[in-house]
């Protein structure tokens, strides 16, 4: 099973680990931050999926392109697109719902 791990700087002293696990028909995205461990919306996972390597401290920013290729056509990609649309609007409920859908897609 292909796997890519990133260490990202968050609010804690120690970096969090963001893991992308790819199977034939599934992509699982994990993070060791409190939100990620509680299966909620996690900004560390989202940032990498959106192409940002700003907080990656593991020196493998080039792996972001592989992660984005893995997203293509997945339920996570669709949920991420819905989140992007909700972020452009001003409906707090729609944004919360989009974050929840994305969190579920990353954990299913």
Short-list 4, 8, 20, CA closest to 76: 20
What is the domain partition of the chain in residue ranges? 3-107
- Identify whether the C-beta of residue 9 lies closer than 8 Å to the C-beta of residue 57: yes
Collapse the DSSP code of 72 into the 3-class scheme (helix H, G, I; strand E, B; otherwise coil) and give the result.
coil
Question: pLDDT for 37-71, tens place per residue?
Answer: 999 989 999 999 999 999 999 999 999 999 999 99
**58: exposed, middle or buried (Cβ count in 10 Å: 0-12, 13-18, 19+):** middle
pTM: 0.92
Segment 28-38 shows an average pLDDT of 94
């Amino acid at each position: 099973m292909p796997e890519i791990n990133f260490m990202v700087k968050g609010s804690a002293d120690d970096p969090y680990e963001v893991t992308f696990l790819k199977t034939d028909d599934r992509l699982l995205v994990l993070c060791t931050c409190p939100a990620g461990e509680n299966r909620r919306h996690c900004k560390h996972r989202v940032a990498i999926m959106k192409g940002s390597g700003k907080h990656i401290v593991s020196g493998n920013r080039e792996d972001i392109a592989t992660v984005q290729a893995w997203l293509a056509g997945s339920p996570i990609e669709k949920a991420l697109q819905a989140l992007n649309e909700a972020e452009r609007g001003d409906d707090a409920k729609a944004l919360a719902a989009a974050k929840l859908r994305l969190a579920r897609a990353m954990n299913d």
